[in-house]
Amino acid sequence: MLKVGIVGLPNVGKSTLFNAILKREQALSANYPFATIEPNIGVVDVVDKRLDTLAKLVAVNEMGAPKNILHIQNIDSSVKLPPIVYANIEFVDIAGLVEGANKGEGLGNQFLANIREVDMIIQVVRDFSDPNIVREHSKNPDVDSDVINSELIYKDLESIEKKLKVLGNDTKKSKEINILNIYFEHLNKGFFALDINPNKNDNTPISKEDYYEFIKPLFLLTDKEMIYVFNVDDPSVGSTPNLSGDSQQNITKEYKERPVIYISAKLESELSSLSNEDQKAYLQELGIAEAGLDKITRACFNKLGLISYFTAGVKEVRAWEIKKESNALVAAGRIHTDFMKNFIKAEVIAYEDYVKYGTKLLCKEAGRLRLEGKEYIVKDGDVIEFKIGA
């Protein structure tokens, strides 16, 4: 399961955002530094409307539900649908970092260790103007963001320094030492390790083989994907964010490969207590096309290069997340390792074809059902049934 850490300076709205994500008051939200000490953890769905459509089709064509439900958004509870299982993301609300965290300031070592355990990072940056909320650092969101980034970089420099000391002047380790020094110099200039990750950048002096042998085991903090979430005032969400000067341009330019999302954690918290219909009406009234939380979950999913394939039947309609360019054998293994061992073939229908024809049988008759082998590259939205041997 994808694991995402939410980080930021104290009192930037991390726990408010986390509570909104989980739609319940799980994390302590308080107006003082370190209201969060132990990380709060919660699992949320990556809502995919395609699953809802597939569930309706299964209900109509295999469970005897009336055809009119295909055109109804909110279906009466008396109509039986197959259970829907969305892909999941695990969010971790990590305590507020402070300047000097890499040296242990403000329980910094513990917090940085928590970051090491996640797959990617959401950095929440304060850009709301409530004077009643204690502000740990400056009034400039760019400076606040730099504090967090610097602490992550310092910790990575420390990790590389420790490794270099262990290696010493061992001539047999000259290749590893050279690669570590490349990373050290890069980080020392204020850049992230991810920038020269060969899996993300073709223009890098590091080969993939050397990366996995020498760098990956260090679990560098800045080698993780990151999304910036600017927590703005309520009125600014639907129009222009309350950024200082050309803050938006600077952030986008400096970290052009890292998405920047503008939300109001306070507004998202209010939305989380409303029904789906009331949420839509409220957002429409504010002139906002999409809730910030939906943007965040989708951005996390996409930034890590994940796609979903579906299984659809009476027992359940389910999304399975896999890396882009994964083959059918890997996809089968997401369901169970035995599926990999006993793989025979995969019956594949594109989502659009399934919706057009309505059933597996009709797709087959129309020539839209394909039999694929282990090496087939699964596409986002494929509806798959695996044929498994004994």
Is residue 21 within 8 A of residue 124, CB to CB? The reply is no
Residue 219, in any domain of the structure: yes
Q: Is 5 exposed, middle or buried (0-12, 13-18, 19+ CB in 10 A)?
A: buried
Q: Is residue 111 classed as helix, strand or coil in its secondary structure?
A: helix
Same domain, 206 and 342: no
Q: Is residue 173 classed as helix, strand or coil in its secondary structure?
A: helix
Q: At 233, is the pLDDT very low, low, confident or very high (cuts 50, 70, 90)?
A: confident
* For residue 253, pLDDT beyond 70: no
Q: At 282, is the pLDDT very low, low, confident or very high (cuts 50, 70, 90)?
A: confident
Query: What is the average pLDDT across 335-348?
Result: 96
Q: Is 69 exposed, middle or buried (0-12, 13-18, 19+ CB in 10 A)?
A: middle
Same domain, 354 and 296: no
Identity at 277, one-letter amino acid code: E
Identity at 383, one-letter amino acid code: V
| C-alpha 297 chain-centroid distance | 6
Same domain, 143 and 229: yes
CATH number at residue 276: 3.40.50.300
Specify the pairing of strand 260-263 against strand 87-93: unpaired
Q: State how far the Cα of 383 lies from the Cα of 47, in Å rounded to an integer.
A: 17
> How do residues 68-107 score in pLDDT, each as one tens digit?
777 766 666 667 889 999 998 889 888 766 665 455 554 4
Mean pLDDT of all residues belonging to the chain: 82
* For residue 214, pLDDT beyond 90: yes
Q: At 245, is the pLDDT very low, low, confident or very high (cuts 50, 70, 90)?
A: very low
> Hey, how many other C-beta atoms are within 10 angstroms of the C-beta on 341?
12
> How do residues 161-198 score in pLDDT, each as one tens digit?
999 999 998 888 999 999 999 999 999 999 999 999 99
Same domain, 56 and 37: no
- ∠ CA 7-301-305, nearest 5°, is 115
Domain final residue pick, 67, 85, 103: 85
Q: Is residue 261 classed as helix, strand or coil in its secondary structure?
A: strand
Give the structural domain span for 364.
325-388
Residue 308, in any domain of the structure: no
Q: State how far the Cα of 192 lies from the Cα of 83, in Å rounded to an integer.
A: 42
- pTM of the complete model: 0.76
